[in-house]
Each structure stands twice: as structure tokens, then as C-alpha cells.
Amino acid sequence: MYNKEFPEDFMWGASTSAYQVEGAAFTNGKKPSQQDIINKENYKKRGFATAEIASDHYHHYKEDVALMKEMGFKAYRFSIAWSRVFPDGVGDVNEEGIQFYRDLIDELLANEIEPIVTLYHYDLPWALVEKYNGWLSREVVKDFEYYATYIIEEFKDKVKYWTTINEQSIIVQFWTQKCFIPEELRSNDQLRYQINHHMNLAHAIACKLVHEKVKDGMVGSAIGYAPVYPLTSSPQDAMAAQNAHDLHNAFYLDIYFKGIYTKSAMAYLESKGLAPEIEPGDMELIKEGYSDFLALNYYYSDCVKACPEDDELRFAGVNWTGVKGAMDGHEHQPGFFQMCANPELETSDWDWAIDPTGLEYLLRDIYTRYNKPLMITENGLGAYDTLTEDGRIHDPYRVEYLKNHIKAMKKAMDYGVEVLAYCPWSAIDLLSTSNGIKKRYGFIYVDRTDDDPKECKRIKKDSFYWYKKLIESNGIDF
């Protein structure tokens, strides 16, 4: 069963996030975000580029939008840097900062590219970290409301599609990379789930604001999602897969679509002293802030097996080097599940399992459970690219990856799943959240290294031409 036609209005495009692509970190009134600080540390420790220049999209945005137009983009998903608009998190707006987003959105609309705006992608204003430890404090929720109210009001007539907070599930796993967490608090794992609870409140507020202010607006979260497979067909491993699904996936989606915390996941967290503190009224607010769709960021599937009760709690590992097999550990949730490598799947150089079928699987699964439209807002292969002597970048591995994932997405659509957009990661090369600039994802090459930003010259990769052809034929010719 495979019917090749995509809907006429299907939104082909790609994604980026502010701190990973913009640069100009201290330009025209912008003050630091926590990512400016975290990435400075990463440079010292691991030699990864900082966010200071990134891909210098701030100064190249017209050229970048023109390249997106040349590829035929119907949509572009990007995020707004909170500290460019409100350098201190709250208070006076930075006119030059907001003007950048007005110009960017106008440029997109002039080129008939639908803006899909993410309100928050890891880059909390540093001022709020200094003031009250950022997301660790409940105070952040009202400051997020102040920021979101301003942005949604500003762009309510130009932006229809909004995503709220990027990848809460990933923030819980990799909290010190995605949030600045003071050294002395890092051993308290309950705080991961407390941060997530604060984000659930902020997410609900943003959903309500879009519903109030944006005529025909649609809002949802962008979630990092991995379907979970059992390592073997043993009932114990199958149970572990159910447990991991409940804690990693249902725990977020039930909030967005049902306004509840998944009971099994909460019972587990309570038994380990990890459950968040919930105040009276919180769950009512969460219920009111319902989602219209779900944006999905999909890179890999997960594999789990049973985990002994007396094991030690551990969260996800990272491959810091880009040498296959160098992942520094796996998550263990004692008595619930432990993550492991899937022997059936090839991996990227950073040990991420490559699994197109996982995309069909998760789209079918989520749509069956929640019956809401879905969007792919990230999907892609982080890879080493080489600028060859002919001045080109030959990236057949990226084309292969994307092609197989698009086919899998289409299969799910042919089974009735409503998918509105495919916006892979990333429109142009950018700073990886965990591995610097050498791990590249873009259709457009940015000529720089981790140490040397050079001129950030743009060069079209082979995948650029491939994607252009695919969009031209609305998904038939690839």
C-alpha cells in the first residue's frame, strides 16, 4: 500500500533554532542567554564552536531566505531568542531585537514561506538564571508569560503555526546541556522533573494565549520523540518497553492532549522521590492549555531491556567525539527499564540509531492514541561533510537518510495519519547542541570550523538540489 501523492497544501520546509544559527549574540542590544554561557564552556572543555557567531544567520538572513525560496520551501520553522527581544528577560523591549524577527517574518511571507515559530528553544535569558536559577524556579513561568504575550501579540496577524517549548523530554535527559544548572544542584534528579513541570505550565499559558489572540491559529509543543522497542521478545523486556514509553513519551503527550500526568510514570517517579511538586490550580491550567497539533522531532528509535530494582539511577549518555561506539552510557531507571543499543540497526557516527520505520511506527501510534494533526519539525542526519576541490559537498548519505524517512512518513499518511508538514533539521548548517559545528545537518553548507568562523560563506550541498527537485514535484520525484 503506497500512494505517492502528497496533499496539495503539504508544507515542505526545514528548521533551525535561534542560538544555533543566528550568531550576533551580543549585537544590537542582545544580552546573553544561558546557551551563550554553556557553549562558551563547551568551547573551553571540548573545542566546540560557541554561539557567538554560529552560522551568522543574523547578518545573512536575506541570503538564507532566498536559498530557501530557491529550494521551494513552503514553510520554515525557527525560534525566537528571548534575550534578543527582552535582554533582561522582562522589562523593556529591545526594539532592534524585535525588528530582526519582524524583518525575517516579512521576508519569509514576501517569499510565500509560512513561518512556524517556536517560542523557546533552550536559550533562556541569562539574566533570569542569575536572578532565580532560571527554569528551576517557578518564577520563570510568569516571566515566560510576559515574553510570550508580547511575541504572540506582535505576530498574531502574520504567524498561524506556533510551537511552544522545544523538546521537554530531551531537556529532562540532558538538563545540564539544555539549562544552566549550578554544580551543587546537579545531583538532585527530582529537579529535572520540576523544571519539566514549570515548562508544562509555561506551555499551557502559551497555548491559551494563541487560542485567545490568533484567529485560526494552531499551537502545540515540539517534542523529541523516540519509539521504544524491547531488546528481546521476553515479557520482561516488553514490559520495560511499555515502562519506557510511559515515562519518555506518554508522560509528555498526555499533558499536551489530555491535561494529565500519565499515572504509571508518576507512580514510578513518586516511588523514587523524583515526582515534581504540583500546586493547587496547576492541573486545571494545564488542561485549559490544550494543543491543536503535535510537532515531532525524530532522529532515532530507542531500545530497552528489563532493569534490576537494585540498579543505580542513570540518565542518557552522550557521544562527545563523533567516533562510533564512544557513547558514554545509557539511561537506567531501576526496576523500570534500561536503554541499550539495538543490534538490528546501523547508527550515525554519533551512535544514533538510523530507523526510518520508527517514523512510520510513531506517527501511526500517536495518531491512533490522540487523533490530532502532526508535523515533523526535525528529522535528519548529523554527519561529517567535506568541501571537495570542486567546491561542492557530496552528501549522498544525507539524501539516503531523508529519502527513507520521507517514504516512511508517507506510508503512515497512506494509513490515514494527518501530517501537515515535513521540516527536517536543518535548513542550513548550524551549531549542534552537543557536538559543535563539525556535526552538520543542513542542505546549505556554512563554510566555517569550530575554531574559525571565516566568512560563513553559504554553499549548496548536493542534498540542496535533491530536496529542490522533491519539493517541485510535491514529493513524487526523488
Task: Choose, by CB under 6 A, the member of 23, 89, 322, 382 that binds ligand BG6.
Answer: 382
Span near ligand BG6 by CB under 6 A; candidates 101-109, 152-160, 165-173, 457-465: 165-173
Span near ligand BG6 by CB under 6 A; candidates 95-103, 321-329, 405-413, 433-441: 433-441
- State yes or no: residue 50 binds ligand BG6 (CB under 6 A): no
Please, what is the minimum distance in Å from the beta carbon of residue 404 to ligand BG6?
18
Please, what is the minimum distance in Å from the beta carbon of residue 240 to ligand BG6?
24
- 378 is annotated as an active-site residue: yes
3-class SS shares of the chain: helix, strand, coil, % to 5:
40, 15, 40
- State yes or no: residue 322 binds ligand BG6 (CB under 6 A): no
Gap between the Cα atoms of 23 and 448, Å rounded = 13
Count the neighbouring beta carbons within 10 Å of the beta carbon of residue 7: 12
- State yes or no: residue 176 binds ligand BG6 (CB under 6 A): no
Span near ligand BG6 by CB under 6 A; candidates 4-12, 59-67, 427-435, 448-456: 427-435
- State yes or no: residue 291 binds ligand BG6 (CB under 6 A): no
Gap between the Cα atoms of 100 and 136, Å rounded = 30
**Size of residue set near ligand BG6 by CB under 6 A:** 15
Q: Which is nearer to ligand BG6, 134 or 230 (CB)?
A: 134
Contacts of 107 (CB under 8 A, 6+ apart): 61, 62, 65
Kindly identify the residues of this chain, within the stretch 224-263, that bind ligand BG6 according to CB under 6 A.
Answer: 224
Task: Choose, by CB under 6 A, the member of 169, 319, 432, 463 that binds ligand BG6.
Answer: 432
Binding-site string for ligand BG6 from residue 14 to residue 43, where x marks contact by CB under 6 A and - marks none = ---x--x-----------------------
State the amino acid at position 232 in one-letter form. T
Count the neighbouring beta carbons within 10 Å of the beta carbon of residue 148: 24
| Catalytic residue chosen out of the listed positions 52, 114, 331, 378 | 378
Gap between the Cα atoms of 39 and 18, Å rounded = 14
State the amino acid at position 478 in one-letter form. F
| Catalytic residue chosen out of the listed positions 167, 389, 400, 472 | 167
Task: Choose, by CB under 6 A, the member of 166, 194, 249, 291 that binds ligand BG6.
Answer: 166
Q: Indicate the burial class of 308 (C-beta count within 10 angstroms; 0-12, 13-18, 19 or more).
A: exposed
Please, what is the minimum distance in Å from the beta carbon of residue 350 to ligand BG6?
7
- 212 is annotated as an active-site residue: no
φ, ψ of residue 298 in degrees (nearest 5):
-125, 125
CB 284 within 8 A of CB 300: no
Q: How many angstroms separate the Cα of 63 from the Cα of each of 78, 140, 425, 464, 469?
A: 16, 36, 19, 15, 20
Identify the three-state secondary structure at position 130. Answer: helix
- State yes or no: residue 167 binds ligand BG6 (CB under 6 A): yes
Q: Which is nearer to ligand BG6, 230 or 436 (CB)?
A: 436
Distance of CA 219 to the CA centre of its chain: 15
Q: How many angstroms separate the Cα of 334 from the Cα of each of 112, 113, 236, 313?
A: 51, 47, 13, 6
- State yes or no: residue 143 binds ligand BG6 (CB under 6 A): no
Residues annotated as catalytic are: 167, 378
Using CB under 6 A, list all residues that contact ligand BG6.
Answer: 17, 20, 166-167, 170, 224, 297, 378, 382, 425, 432-435, 439
